[in-house]
Amino acid sequence: MNEKEKKNEKDIRLFLFIFFIQSAVGHSVLAIYFFTQQLTVLAVINIFDVLFFLIAIMINKSVRIRFISYLFALKIVHFSFISTILMGLNINTQWLLLMAMFLITLHLDFTRMQRIIIFASLPLIMNIQLIIPKIFPPPFYIERDFFLSFFYANIIVFSFSIGGLMKYILGNKITASFEKDVAEYKQIANIDPLTKLNNRRYAEGFFEKLDGMSCLLGLMDIDSFKAVNDTYGHDIGDIVLIHVADVLRNTTRQTDLVCRWGGEEFLVGFPECSPEDGLKILETIRKEVEDRIIDTEKGRIKITLTLGASIFSGGSVKDTLEICDELLYDGKKAGKNIVMSKFENPLLPLKNDRN
């Protein structure tokens, strides 16, 4: 069950809880009234109804939501029929069927045919109720004024309950929808549409969250990418960019920064990573790109990367990126397809094995 389904179920259970409370109170009032009128049979029936709703309150959270709402709906239909048979039409309990219909239609996953059957059955059931008292006269006579007052009081309480709950649920749905839209817009704003990697905007947020942690940064550029575009066209160039993005995804962790920095440049960041481990990962990326062949409709293409690496450990990220960019440029001058690095404790550039 996803988050949306869980939220919908929670809202329906809240509806049912309110209905159970209201019904238990209402039947308690009826039981007292019938005892005062010496209508013991009706009083006992309502006592059992009170027990039913108290049990329903206790099991509301533990049983399947569809089961408990259908059970309640059937109980309302049962009460409406029994009341009409025993006390006649003047008490107006036939209109409680509308409440039962409302409870059933809380579930929105019905097929069109099921909806037609449900709504078509309502007038049929109500007509049956209208006919029964004419064939079988009710054995009990109840003062109409009392039951009308009781009925209208229930309708008023029910209406206020529904109004408050609808305001609560619609407010929650609007808030949830707004938050979802904001999250989606943020995601769209942080994702490069071509490679589906994070973009520069996301990287800036990533740097802000480092909060004093060191992070090894690797800036890389596809070698001779302009020649690829000029020779094969920009569509093939896009395929090459996606290919590099796939390599980066497959060779880094979810906690690492992986983004398209701009054009044919990519940036990776490894928080709390030693120079040795970071350089091994960068060398793996370089070697993986070098070894792969990209099959396109215009032929097979091989590409290489040049990378510059340094560690950000506070201060200005911009300064660290400038160091990476200078190292990348040095790598281009050194023959391309190489990882160049510079750390606080100087290390020799990690050169690829060209043999």
Identify the structural domains of the chain with CATH numbers, from first to last.
3-185 (no CATH), 200-342 (3.30.70.270)
State the chain's mean pLDDT as an integer: 81
Q: Which residues are CB-contacts of 16 (< 8 A; sequence separation ≥ 6)?
A: 56, 60, 68, 69, 72, 103
* Residue 350 pLDDT: 42
The better pLDDT of the pair 93, 131 is held by 131
Instruction: Give the CA angle between residues 48, 52, 54 to the nearest 5°.
Output: 115
Q: What does the pLDDT read at residue 103?
A: 56
CB 68 within 8 A of CB 17: no
> pLDDT of 262-316, one tens digit each?
999 999 999 989 999 999 999 999 999 999 999 999 889 999 999 999 999 878 8
Q: Helix or strand or coil: residue 154?
A: helix
Percent of the chain whose predicted confidence (pLDDT) is above 90: 39
Question: Looking at the predicted structure, is the pLDDT value of residue 136 above 50?
Answer: yes
Return the pLDDT at 349.
40
- Digit-coded pLDDT (tens) for 29-60: 888 888 888 888 888 988 998 998 899 888 88
How far apart CA 285 and CA 273 sit, in angstroms, is 16
